[in-house]
Amino acid sequence: MKYKQAIVLRVDVGMSRGKLAAQAAHASLEAALKAMQRDKSFSTKIFESWRKEGAKKVVLKVESEQALLRLRDLAIRASLANSMIRDAGLTEVPAGTVTALAIGPDEEKKIDKITKDLNAL
């Protein structure tokens, strides 16, 4: 089985490339940790399989907070681990700005059902 994680970044808030990278890293880590905290035996199997396959990630973009919230809702309905990041406001964007969402790791086909219409960053 193939596994992956999707990281979705907002491009409408004007973050620098470095800030985008930092937000992607925050989202990726938090979603992976959430995946591990769910049903331990199931999540551990997915997490370890994902890592053995190379920890595949795709980085995608959306143009609004509303689009990111819609994706999060779809991930929740699909029972996929996910993590939405709200920035602390210490650098480029105001505190509380929703910047990123990571979905998975989980089965690639489950994540693709949610993210198939998005473009790569």
Q: What is the pLDDT of residues 33-55, one digit of tens each?
A: 888 887 666 677 888 899 999 99
Q: Where are the domains of the chain?
A: 3-120
Please, what is the average pLDDT of the chain?
94
| pLDDT at residue 34, rounded to an integer | 87
Q: Give the distance, in angstroms, between the CA of residue 120 and the centroid of all CA atoms in the same chain.
A: 13
Q: From residue 108, give the alpha-carbon distance in Å to each of 19, 56, 89.
A: 27, 9, 33
Q: State the architecture of 3-120 in CATH terms.
A: 3-Layer(aba) Sandwich (3.40)
| pLDDT at residue 41, rounded to an integer | 66
